[in-house]
Amino acid sequence: MIISVPKEIKNNENRVAITPAGVKELVKRGHEVYVQSTAGHGSGFIDDDYTAAGAKITPDIEAAYKMGEMIVKVKEPVFREYNLITSGHVMFTYFHFASSLELTQAMINQKAVCIAYETVEHEDRSLPLLVPMSEVAGRMAVQEGAKYLEKPMMGKGILLGGVPGVLPAKVLIIGGGVVGTEAAKMAAGLGADVIIMDSNLKRLRYLADIMPANVKTMASNEYNIRKMIRDQDLIIGAVLIPGAKAPKLITKDMLKDMQRGTVLVDVAIDQGGCIETCRPTTHEDPTYIVDGIVHYCVANMPGAVPYTSTLALTNATLPYIIELAGSGWKTAVAQHMELSKGLNLCKGQVSCSGVADAFNLPHHVKPQLQ
């Protein structure tokens, strides 16, 4: 198969979808790999690293899309890419369709086969291609939260861990999955006073067992959220219903109950966000203030630490790229339950229920696989 890797053009997105090591594995199996010139620069790979591994370099994004049967990316296509995508393409990348009708409609119109990293799902319901980036974003959420709690950044002016004789900051994490767990570990390690809320009691039992003593667990419901947000310093949104739009758990009217300078980091923003006043921001301009509350809502947080994120992501995606390239997408999707869960759009039909529900579109349980 011919696999093509365009350079990411989303704001401050420095990850790349394939490393030279990945190219070598694909070329060894008889595939042809095209990589757009400078696509790897942000992650520390130069064009010569790719050619040495057997890739061919394309001069621009148009050529990258033109050459490939399967396009492997990191982030969802942006407007400039829509018309480069055709019904002949298999697109393998993060899409987060439920958060964007525009993107969903564009990909329906282009009739491409869209397999979304974030909904590839194992039988035990884990999400192997979301996990590594959630690990990164969960850890970063605390790092970024700590930074924006500083007074010059419009935060309350409180140090997460406190100092001897002064109490530490309070951190509330809503959603105790991968992002929430990693955030809790980081915040606890810095000495903060941490609460994790989740709607899944089994998950809370597990977290209560493994977390240090400065992490407490609490059931997630409106009453508890309203009660706890009053005196928190940092609140991290980390819920997920796979494929679907995130539920709004903190509404605009709740902001007046928070203390000024409280920082909200809505990691779930890529699925629309779980805080009503959150809208996607970029690494260039990551925060804004509503009612004195700092909102941080960057939808591609791992893009800022590409040296870590590209390796973590491609460690997970490469086996699936090899499978899709080796068997062809139809056979791979038919034979592998995890990849069939990843199929979101197929030649203009919506095959992911979360996406269909988000926009009231017809849901094709069995899309045309021809």
Ligand X SMILES: NC(=O)C1=CN([C@@H]2O[C@H](COP(=O)(O)OP(=O)(O)OC[C@H]3O[C@@H](n4cnc5c(N)ncnc54)[C@H](O)[C@@H]3O)[C@@H](O)[C@H]2O)C=CC1
304 binds Mg ion (CB under 5 A): no
133 binds ligand CC(=O)C(=O)O (CB under 6 A): yes
271 binds ligand X (CB under 6 A): yes
Of the pair 143, 327, the CB lying nearest ligand X is at: 143
Binding piece for ligand X, criterion CB under 6 A, among 48-56, 298-306, 322-330, 357-365: 298-306
Residue 155 binding partner per list Mg ion, ligand CC(=O)C(=O)O, ligand X, none, with a CB distance cut-off of 5 to 8 Å that depends on partner kind: none
List 89, 233, 270, 295, catalytic entry: 270
Binding piece for Mg ion, criterion CB under 5 A, among 79-87, 218-226, 266-274, 305-313: 266-274
Spatial separation of the C-alpha atoms in residues 296 and 207, rounded to whole Å: 26
302 binds ligand CC(=O)C(=O)O (CB under 6 A): yes
Shortest distance (Å) from residue 77 CB to ligand X: 17
Quote the Cα angle for 105-88-93, to 5°. 60
Spatial separation of the C-alpha atoms in residues 178 and 139, rounded to whole Å: 10
Binding piece for ligand X, criterion CB under 6 A, among 57-65, 188-196, 241-249, 254-262: 241-249
| Gyration radius of the chain's alpha carbons | 21
Map tokens 């003593």 to a residue. 213
The residue from 299, 321, 345, 356 that contacts Mg ion (CB under 5 A) is 299
Q: Find the largest Cα–Cα distance for the chain.
A: 68
Judge contact between 340 and 115, C-beta under 8 A: no
Per-residue tokens: 4: 């093509």
Report the run of H or E that residue 221 belongs to, with start and end: none
The residue from 94, 95, 148, 296 that contacts ligand CC(=O)C(=O)O (CB under 6 A) is 94
For residue 348, give the amino acid letter: G
Shortest distance (Å) from residue 46 CB to ligand X: 26
Of the pair 171, 269, the CB lying nearest Mg ion is at: 269
Spatial separation of the C-alpha atoms in residues 96 and 88, rounded to whole Å: 21
Count, in order, helices (H) and strands (E) of the chain.
13, 15
Terminal CA-CA length for the chain? 17
List 31, 96, 233, 266, catalytic entry: 96
Residue 176 binding partner per list Mg ion, ligand CC(=O)C(=O)O, ligand X, none, with a CB distance cut-off of 5 to 8 Å that depends on partner kind: ligand X
203 binds ligand X (CB under 6 A): yes
Checking DSSP bridges between strand 263-266 and strand 2-5, what pairing results, if any?
A: unpaired
**Which residues, including other chains, have CB under 8 Å from residue 146's CB and lie 6 or more apart?**
159, 160, 190, 234
| Residue 84 bridge partners (DSSP) | none
Of the pair 64, 130, the CB lying nearest Mg ion is at: 130
309 binds ligand X (CB under 6 A): no
Shortest distance (Å) from residue 26 CB to ligand X: 25
C-alpha dihedral sign at 339, 132, 283, 99: positive
Task: Tell me the site size for ligand X, rule CB under 6 A.
Answer: 34
182 binds ligand CC(=O)C(=O)O (CB under 6 A): no
Of the pair 177, 302, the CB lying nearest ligand CC(=O)C(=O)O is at: 302
229 binds ligand X (CB under 6 A): no
Which x/- pattern over 105-144 shows residues binding ligand X (rule: CB under 6 A)? -------------x-----------x--xx--x-------
Q: Is 96 a catalytic residue?
A: yes
The DSSP letter of residue 5 is E
Q: Which long-range contacts (CB under 8 A, 24 or more apart) does 287-290 make?
A: 287/148, 287/153, 287/154, 289/154, 290/252, 290/255
> What angle in degrees, to the nearest 10, is found between the helix axes of 131-148 and 178-189?
40
177 binds ligand CC(=O)C(=O)O (CB under 6 A): no
| Residue 5 bridge partners (DSSP) | 35
Residues that bind ligand X (CB under 6 A): 118, 130, 133-134, 137, 174-180, 197-200, 203, 220, 238-241, 247, 249, 267-271, 298-302
Residues that bind Mg ion (CB under 5 A): 270, 299-300
- The residues carrying an active-site annotation are 96, 270
